[in-house]
Structure 1
């Protein structure tokens, strides 16, 4: 059996350091925020080359608070993509703002930034590009537009820890960068966690208040806040794992390269790396019009796969908007029908990759690539 992800093998490779980190927290008794979270914030900000990092309890909370710190609220509009995990759009809704969707680039599956200006109105307050699958969105033209139209840019980097755009870390390019530390991410906690990064000191201070009940001191609340604090245990664990992130990402890129080499003559749409991007391959997704049948075949062969994501957000019942009926965002809808995520994690072996590629060849030795 080839798993889609293997967290146990990674844990065994760093078990002693993880246990020592956990013991530090248990011995010190700082279970919520505390010195380990503060140290991780400092180290993560240095890693992504921003001035500040604010630890929270999930990537969703990171997006929500970044929007609030940007002043987004009822009556505002926020531009984003529908081909993403639902949290991107949920966070916009939490503020009372309206999500405005633009389509994706079919080559990268990230925001087609050439479409953004056409949907900007007097109500548009922010734009959230999503660095989907660890592939950076095309940020320079988006930032130029944002500065011209006075928009806040909040990077959804939940899947892109360590990815770079023209040599710069994603998360540092916009006004805010938001990360998730869900266990399966490139940098994953042993539970939930998230981070907002920024180089604006006033925004960082506002974020710290928002995550902790709006209080500068206990029981004195200066604003409406939330219980979005990062746990001490997660901060300590993530400090250990951050030291290994570059090596793990290098292994992911190597594994992705082996997939691309092994599948280059097969009838599947493969991920493309743009000239501006250094992706980190949180997901290696191929495209095929026979996605569901292929997934069943691979499961029978002992190969586990995933689908990220089978229904675009604008077609989810809980997020329906009459302005976005079926067919209104065609590239996102096509991707949702076609993408299939193959097993990929730092510890995957070349033998496993060969096995997956051979199974894909047996399933579809001829045919046309997905659009």
Structure 2
């Protein structure tokens, strides 16, 4: 039996009756598209965030793309973000014709170094796109203050931070809009692709609803601005409604697992995750750091443990983004992390037995590599 960084099967067994009932509910409803499950999930997801609006879409990448378009970001504009992120963050910027501009991340928490942002602003900068990576928030008070001074939109990438908080404020409610992914591995995951955008801005909400439906007003079938086919479907929406009611339980379980890792590995030479003061971490990933990362991962394979690196290749080093002109060494912290970080298994249904096996194997490997 291989222990992997993520596995949904135990969770599915625990929730199987409810998940299958969700599917049956949709199939018996007579509405497979834009029915009560989508509208219900949108209302409930907005309410969870204390936000005015939530718009369901087909995946997290399109949540970013449509949000950028609804914010008026397009060709000739610049969007400031980070390279230590999943490629879709940057792909979305490229999709709307804008230019990604990178700043480095902090050594302490691997999140956007907000102190670097002002130094890369130009007359073409229109949006700041912080990524709440691994389960905790970028310094949003400082970033929003900067955005307000320069009249910039803030779009939060919350794909990895469902339920995270900063100074009591839930992730996704500081900026003008926030994009979420419900890819199966996420803290709140569907059984396939799904996404949403949360906003308190009625104009952004209206724009999103048009853009996800070809650019049409739903009742008129008249394209106002050419959009996308990016609808959240009823089945995923109904499953997400059920799982949203369990989200706080998932977060508690992840924090318990993280606490066990922290206690059991505190005396090793691994660099363990640091929770930034004011943050409530949700541990989408439990990311550790070690200069002999690759040797450790190889040795763990012999113990039946297959781990993951998020992310081995910074976006600015990928060939697809070479035209941006970021030479090696431009973002030194991001590049150093790419050689040293890896993720331990983290999901709410991870058993104590499996966690113990990971801990014991990792401690043994650290003594020998």
| 1:169-201 Cα shifts (integer Å, max 9, x gaps) | 101111111100001111001110000000011
1:306 positional shift: 0.8
- Of stretches 197-206 and 352-361 in structure 1, the one that deviates more from structure 2 is 352-361
Match of 1:311 in 2: 313
Contact 1:51–1:198 (8 Å) recurs in 2:
yes
Match of 1:269 in 2: 271
Match of 1:199 in 2: 200
Aligned mates of 2:34, 2:316 — CA distance in 1 = 36
Partner of residue 324 from structure 1, selected from 323, 326, 338? 326
1:304 positional shift: 2.0
Note closer, same or farther for the CA distance 1:366–1:143 as it changes in structure 2 (3 Å cut). farther
RMSD of aligned alpha carbons: 1.2
Match of 2:223 in 1: 221
Structure 1 segment 1-371 matched on structure 2, within 5 A: 1=1, 2-216=3-217, 217-365=219-367
Contact 1:304–1:342 (8 Å) recurs in 2:
no
Contact 1:262–1:354 (8 Å) recurs in 2:
no
Contact 1:162–1:249 (8 Å) recurs in 2:
yes
- Of stretches 138-147 and 27-36 in structure 1, the one that deviates more from structure 2 is 27-36
Aligned mates of 2:365, 2:213 — CA distance in 1 = 52
1:296 positional shift: 1.1
Contact 1:209–1:215 (8 Å) recurs in 2:
yes
Contact 1:125–1:151 (8 Å) recurs in 2:
yes
| 1:310-343 Cα shifts (integer Å, max 9, x gaps) | 1000001111135311110011111111111111
1:349 positional shift: 2.3
1:353 positional shift: 2.1
Q: Secondary structure at the match of 1:25?
A: helix
Count of paired positions: 367
Q: Secondary structure at the match of 1:40?
A: helix
Aligned mates of 1:300, 1:366 — CA distance in 2 = 13
Contact 1:82–1:101 (8 Å) recurs in 2:
yes
- Of stretches 283-292 and 29-38 in structure 1, the one that deviates more from structure 2 is 29-38
Note closer, same or farther for the CA distance 1:100–1:15 as it changes in structure 2 (3 Å cut). same
| 1:228-275 Cα shifts (integer Å, max 9, x gaps) | 000110000000110111001110011011101111110111100011
- Of stretches 117-126 and 14-23 in structure 1, the one that deviates more from structure 2 is 14-23
Query: Where does structure 1 lack aligned partners over 5 or more consecutive residues?
Result: none
Aligned mates of 1:276, 1:166 — CA distance in 2 = 5
Q: Which portions of structure 1, spanning 4 or more consecutive aligned residues, are displaced by more than 4 angstroms?
A: none
- Of stretches 27-36 and 263-272 in structure 1, the one that deviates more from structure 2 is 27-36
Q: Secondary structure at the match of 1:365?
A: helix
- Of stretches 196-205 and 215-224 in structure 1, the one that deviates more from structure 2 is 215-224
- TM-score normalized by the length of structure 2: 0.97
Aligned mates of 1:208, 1:301 — CA distance in 2 = 49
- Of stretches 67-76 and 348-357 in structure 1, the one that deviates more from structure 2 is 348-357
Q: Secondary structure at the match of 2:367?
A: coil
| 1:69-95 Cα shifts (integer Å, max 9, x gaps) | 111111110000000000000000011
| 1:3-28 Cα shifts (integer Å, max 9, x gaps) | 32121111111111111111111012
